[in-house]
Amino acid sequence: MSGVGGLDLWRPVAEAVDLAVPVEHRRPIAIVGAGAIVDVAHLPAYRSAGLEVVGIFDIDQERAHEVAGRHDVPRVYASLDEVLADDRVEVIDVAVVATAQPAIVRAAVAAGKHLLCQKPFAPDIATAEELRDLAEAAGVRVAVNQQLRYDEGVAVARAVAGLGWIGEPTALTVHVDIATDFGAWPWLLVSDRLEIAYHSIHYLDAIRSILGDPTTAYCVAGRRPGQAPAAETRTMSTLRFASGASAGLHVNHENLGGDLRAEFRLDGSEGSVRGTFGMLYDYPHGRPDTVELFSRVVPTDGWVPYPVTGRWIPDAFAGPMGSLLRWIATGEPAPTAAADNVATLRLVEALYASVAGGVAVEVGR
Ligand SMILES: NC(=O)c1ccc[n+]([C@@H]2O[C@H](COP(=O)([O-])OP(=O)(O)OC[C@H]3O[C@@H](n4cnc5c(N)ncnc54)[C@H](O)[C@@H]3O)[C@@H](O)[C@H]2O)c1
């Protein structure tokens, strides 16, 4: 197959979304937290990428041994101090309940370790800025695991926009209507924040990676009477950008009807990219994303499918770690560096302020 619509067309996009980690960038990694996401995403993605995980720590030691055994991780640490004292460890990958993360980051930065943190990076902007500044002062690299940017569907949309194939981007929409069992995370059931802070934060970060930072945000949030989680499970958000572009998100986790939907679409002046987030059709395994391009620039003959090869879980998880390792090796800042992630958190805060006030809110800088 060759020519327009064939593999030749997609070569520059495939190169832009490649997540291979060069051998010379690889550094020994220790993981803190042996929960569900480390088991199904972090460890499988790192193994596929050829990365070395030297040990793992969890306050639940039984769980740490179980996960280490399943993934051939050679060492289980008995404490965080043991992790920090291991001279072999250059990078610490944190994946614990969000409230426990800042204390671990402070200790690891003081020990001179580079870090990949889970999202949300911090519970509030002040803490995020404090952690960012601590890392900068200590000369260590801290990035955040906002891996949806590296999911193949999103990465293809960003690459296509970057190549000019859809002209000037004008609008990005996300429509997710799924049934999420939040019982898998007992700490989330009682959290006073849910949908925006723990789920839509992925879309918000991905949107920022394509359209930049919005100027204004508006959000309405709701719950389904009788739902298990305490906080919001449905949000409808609108973002405005200085370029004139807009973004709209409708995300619902309480779809009772079985007609699941997880779609995105990026429109431009000369074309569009549309696709689906395959993972959300049966979390965490799901199915591959779909991505299609319509372009008057290339031009394409109608909608042309991109040959997807990876999944959000686990494949996209190689993205944030790979870019952190590139940062350490070359000095090129990771796209999801803590300094960048503060802007994603500002957007989260703006949306909650909009929900609380019932008004559109200017997004802080
Ligand atoms: N796509 C994604 O990026 C994604 C998906 C799911 C979860 N997450 C995030 O990853 C983190 C973990 O989620 P999970 O699904 O694995 O949760 P989980 O509840 O399955 O696991 C959390 C683990 O952290 C351990 N832990 C808690 N405090 C600790 C501490 N101080 N030191 C060491 N270990 C500690 C717990 O014992 C548990 O094993 C959360 O921040 C969550 O928001 C991200």
Neighbours of 180 (CB within 10 A): 21
Looking from the CA of residue 60, the nearest atom of ligand 1 is: 37
Task: Tell me the pLDDT band of 155, cut-offs 50, 70 and 90.
Answer: very high
> Has residue 1 got a pLDDT over 60?
no
Looking from the CA of residue 313, the nearest atom of ligand 1 is: 1
Share of the chain above pLDDT 90, in %: 95
**Integer CA distances (angstroms), 96 to 28, 122, 320, 359, in order:** 20, 12, 17, 34
Cα of 37 vs centre of ligand 1, distance in Å, is: 7
Closest CA to 80 of 113, 58, 52: 58
Looking from the CA of residue 187, the nearest atom of ligand 1 is: 19
Phi-psi region of 105 (alpha: psi -120 to 50; beta: other; left: phi over 0): alpha
Task: Tell me the pLDDT band of 2, cut-offs 50, 70 and 90.
Answer: very low
Give me the phi and psi of 114, to 5 degrees please. -75, 155
Averaged pLDDT of the chain: 96
> Has residue 4 got a pLDDT over 80?
no
By most ligand atoms within 8 Å of CB, the mutation choice from 32, 37, 59 for ligand 1 is: 37
Task: Tell me the pLDDT band of 56, cut-offs 50, 70 and 90.
Answer: very high
* The residue to which tokens 């940017």 are assigned: 149
Find out if CATH 3.40.50.720 is the number for domain 18-146: yes
Ligand 1 atom 10: residue of nearest CA: 95
Ligand 1 atom 38: residue of nearest CA: 35
The pair of three-digit structure tokens given for residue 85, joined into one six-digit string: 């004292």
With both helix axes pointing from N to C terminus, report the angle between 152-162 and 201-211 in degrees, rounded to the nearest 10.
20
> Has residue 3 got a pLDDT over 90?
no
What confidence tens digit (pLDDT) does each residue in 276-319 have?
999 999 888 788 999 999 999 999 999 999 999 999 999 999 99
> Has residue 5 got a pLDDT over 70?
no
- For residues 339-344, average pLDDT: 98
What confidence tens digit (pLDDT) does each residue in 215-248 have?
999 999 999 999 999 999 999 999 999 999 999 9
Given this model, what pLDDT does residue 283 score?
84
What confidence tens digit (pLDDT) does each residue in 163-189 have?
999 999 999 999 999 999 999 899 999
Task: Tell me the pLDDT band of 355, cut-offs 50, 70 and 90.
Answer: very high
By most ligand atoms within 8 Å of CB, the mutation choice from 61, 118, 119, 189 for ligand 1 is: 118
Domain boundaries, the chain: 18-146, 148-313+340-362
Cα of 208 vs centre of ligand 1, distance in Å, is: 25
- For residues 123-137, average pLDDT: 98
The fold adopted by the segment(s) 148-313+340-362 is Dihydrodipicolinate Reductase; domain 2 (3.30.360)
Cα of 102 vs centre of ligand 1, distance in Å, is: 13
Query: Any residues with Cβ below 6 Å from ligand 1, and which?
Result: 32-38, 57-60, 63, 95-98, 100, 118-119, 145, 147, 185, 198
Cα of 16 vs centre of ligand 1, distance in Å, is: 30
Q: Does 148-313+340-362 match 18-146 at the fold level? A: no
DSSP 278-292: GGGGSTTT----EEE
